[in-house]
Amino acid sequence: MKKYIKKIWELYKPFRKALIFLFILTLISQMLFLVPPILYAKVVDSVISKEPLLKSLYFVIAVFVVGFLSKVVMNYIRNYTEIKWIHYDVDRYVYNKNISKILSFSVGQNTNENSGVKQSILNRGTNAMEQAMYKTLFDAVPIILQTVLSIIAMLIINIFLGLIVFFGVALYVSLVIYLNNKFKDDLKKIDDIYNKNNKEYTEILWNIATIKLNAQEEQSQKRYDNGILRLCNLGKKVWIRYSSWTLARGGIAEITEFIVMALGVWLVYKGAYTPGTLVIFWSWSSKAFNGLGRIGMMQRQYMRWGASIKKYLDLLEIEPDIREIENPVRIKKIKGEVEFKNVSFKYPFRKNKEDKDSSAGKRQNKKIKNENLPALKKINFKIKAGQKVAFVGESGAGKSTIAQLLIRAYDVSDGRVAIDGVDIKNLDLRCYREQVGVVPQDVGVFDRTLRENIIFGVGDQKKISIKQLEDVARLSCIHKFKHRLEHGYDTMIGEKGIRLSGGERQRVGIARALIKDPAILIFDEATSHLDTENEKMIHEAIDKVSEGRTTIIIAHRLSTIKNADKIFVIDKGKIVGEGSHQELMKDCKIYQNLVAHQSVDNGNL
């Protein structure tokens, strides 16, 4: 707990001054709140002792001035400070921190370690941090200060009465903490059902079409209502039991205030204090309990937020697993020579806490271990600059893994990958990736214009001329669907613009790779989802664009690779054959099998 508070304090370092200033303002305004009762006491005393009217009015004016200062002026300064130095700036700082954390992770970390979970941890954690911060600033701190200051003031005015209030408050707070612990399990159950119902609700919204197609409206509604009914039943039961304790809580506050007042009256009768002092006793002792009613709820909220905040802070500490060396090599113009030397690779083990903890997870452990076998074993090959090579093999053989290692999505487990003779680990990654074009199986499209989507990977986007854009559009056959684009390259595509078919997305992907004028072009199963016509079009595009650059084609379908200078056959993470189509047909059994299967499937090659 202490560790996490320290971490939060560290995280909010740029805002410490503003936060401390806010705390001081809150302290001052809470101190000012103690003053009016003193002035009221003076008014009462001066009225009782029939002092001149003006004297009493002076005190009334003083009450007004203090009230104005504490409520209006201090509130204004607090709001001003919060808006000017905290509200928007903290949001900007935290959201940027989140995005920069996600961006700092390697491709492998983002795809392999369940990025959805990371996003949810970041979202929930950020939300919880924000809510906890406002709760603390504007609710918890004022209440605590008010209580502490009221007790101190009471102790100063009369140590005996002060101690009574102190013990009353201590008893009250202990009872609240005791109750929260006693009902912890029940409240957690309510929380769990609540979350489950939310999930059910979202699932219905996401799957409306499926529900309707299967005529499951009534069942879905019933299932959802069952969840809510459970929540109602348990909620009523637990909260009625919980609420019965409010009698005890309220009782403690009222009895304490009663004792203080009774003793106060006695002290006034004894002549120890003026009658007006009763106003002070009454106000301060009730102020000590004011707001305490909310601390039970707050404690529960903090407990809930705490879980999200802990996960969030832990995530912020995860280091990227791919790091550049201190002075990386910047090859301004890569030639495109690629070498894999004795490369072995194992995907990092996916850490899944639920799997690890559950007994089902333990049972599955054997299976998980199997999934973690080496994806590549002692791979050796060399591709000359400008060569066009292909990797073929069954699905799961390790072809895409080679592409992943080539862009340093992961670091090799053993051996080395070299580009133009330089170990990829020593390269300036940004400079390198700017010169590599990758066309993946699924091309990601942003809700931006076609132009922005194409030039996405270019370092200096302003330098791209319309001629360059048109050239790559022609090469990647984008002109064939340009008639659909109302505003040409400025047409919005993606979710909010026109929807692109799989083939069209592929072509955007090719254009995106090409506009970088890359020294190395990688097509990772770029045609596997396409129909024959689209596939043909992409083949033509690949043939046209591969001129003069190292081109690596990863293909499941062999028709894609007919024109390659060299073909590598991959099987179970190993290279089992290399050469031209004719050579492989002669002496590579696995290649012959692949060809035989596909000839049957496709009727041709």
- The interface region with ligand ADP, picked from 33-41, 211-219, 393-401, 466-474 by CB under 6 A, is 393-401
Residue 407 in contact with ligand ADP, rule: CB under 6 A:
no
Q: Is the Cβ of residue 74 or residue 405 nearer to ligand ADP in the bound state?
A: 405
In one-letter notation, the amino acid at residue 529 is: H
- The interface region with ligand ADP, picked from 256-264, 391-399, 424-432, 481-489 by CB under 6 A, is 391-399
Distance CA 481, CA 123 (A): 38
- The interface region with ligand ADP, picked from 325-333, 359-367, 390-398, 420-428 by CB under 6 A, is 390-398
Of the candidate residues 14, 250, 251, 396, the single one contacting ligand ADP (CB under 6 A): 396
Q: Is the Cβ of residue 347 or residue 456 nearer to ligand ADP in the bound state?
A: 347
Of the candidate residues 397, 477, 541, 575, the single one contacting ligand ADP (CB under 6 A): 397
Least Å distance, CB 408 to ligand ADP, is 15
Q: Is the Cβ of residue 375 or residue 454 nearer to ligand ADP in the bound state?
A: 375
Distance CA 552, CA 439 (A): 10
Least Å distance, CB 524 to ligand ADP, is 8
Q: Is the Cβ of residue 478 or residue 588 nearer to ligand ADP in the bound state?
A: 588
For 32, the token pair is 């000012």
Residue 395 in contact with ligand ADP, rule: CB under 6 A:
yes
Q: Is the Cβ of residue 437 or residue 573 nearer to ligand ADP in the bound state?
A: 573
Question: Which 464-483 residues touch ligand ADP, going by CB under 6 A?
Answer: none
Sheet order of strands, 388-392 included: 436-439, 520-524, 550-555, 388-392, 566-571, 574-579
In angstroms, what CA-CA distances link 379 with 171, 424, 553? Answer: 71, 16, 17
Q: Is the Cβ of residue 273 or residue 410 nearer to ligand ADP in the bound state?
A: 410
Three-state DSSP state, 202: helix
Beta strands 376-383 and 388-392 are unpaired
In 270-294, alpha helices (H): 277-289
Residue 375 in contact with ligand ADP, rule: CB under 6 A:
yes
Residue 539 in contact with ligand ADP, rule: CB under 6 A:
no
Three-state DSSP state, 398: coil
Least Å distance, CB 335 to ligand ADP, is 26
Report how many residues bind ligand ADP under the rule CB under 6 A: 11
Q: Is the Cβ of residue 434 or residue 442 nearer to ligand ADP in the bound state?
A: 442
Which candidate, 562, 563, 565, 587, places its Cα nearest to that of 576?
Answer: 587
Q: Is the Cβ of residue 378 or residue 384 nearer to ligand ADP in the bound state?
A: 378
Of the candidate residues 42, 249, 399, 408, the single one contacting ligand ADP (CB under 6 A): 399
Residue that the structure tokens 């043909």 belong to: 536
- The interface region with ligand ADP, picked from 309-317, 398-406, 492-500, 504-512 by CB under 6 A, is 398-406
Residue ranges with strand state E in 504-565: 520-524, 550-555
In 436-531, alpha helices (H): 450-454, 466-475, 502-514
Least Å distance, CB 117 to ligand ADP, is 15
Residue 388 in contact with ligand ADP, rule: CB under 6 A:
no
Which residues, at least 6 apart from 102, have a Cβ–Cβ distance to it below 8 Å?
110, 115, 118, 119, 122
In 158-183, alpha helices (H): 159-182
Least Å distance, CB 445 to ligand ADP, is 22
Least Å distance, CB 403 to ligand ADP, is 8
Residue 400 in contact with ligand ADP, rule: CB under 6 A:
yes
Beta strands 388-392 and 566-571 are parallel
Distance CA 72, CA 331 (A): 63
Could you give the string, one character per residue 10-49, with x where binding to ligand ADP holds by CB under 6 A and - elsewhere?
A: ----------------------------------------
Residue 112 in contact with ligand ADP, rule: CB under 6 A:
yes
Three-state DSSP state, 14: helix
For 158, the token pair is 């009369």
φ and ψ at 450, to 5 degrees?
-60, -40
- The interface region with ligand ADP, picked from 142-150, 187-195, 276-284, 388-396 by CB under 6 A, is 388-396
- The interface region with ligand ADP, picked from 83-91, 381-389, 395-403, 429-437 by CB under 6 A, is 395-403
Q: Are 49 and 275 in contact (CB under 8 A)?
A: no
Distance CA 346, CA 157 (A): 73
- Residues listed for the chain: 605
Residue 526 in contact with ligand ADP, rule: CB under 6 A:
no
The footprint of ligand ADP (CB under 6 A) covers: 112, 347, 375, 393, 395-401
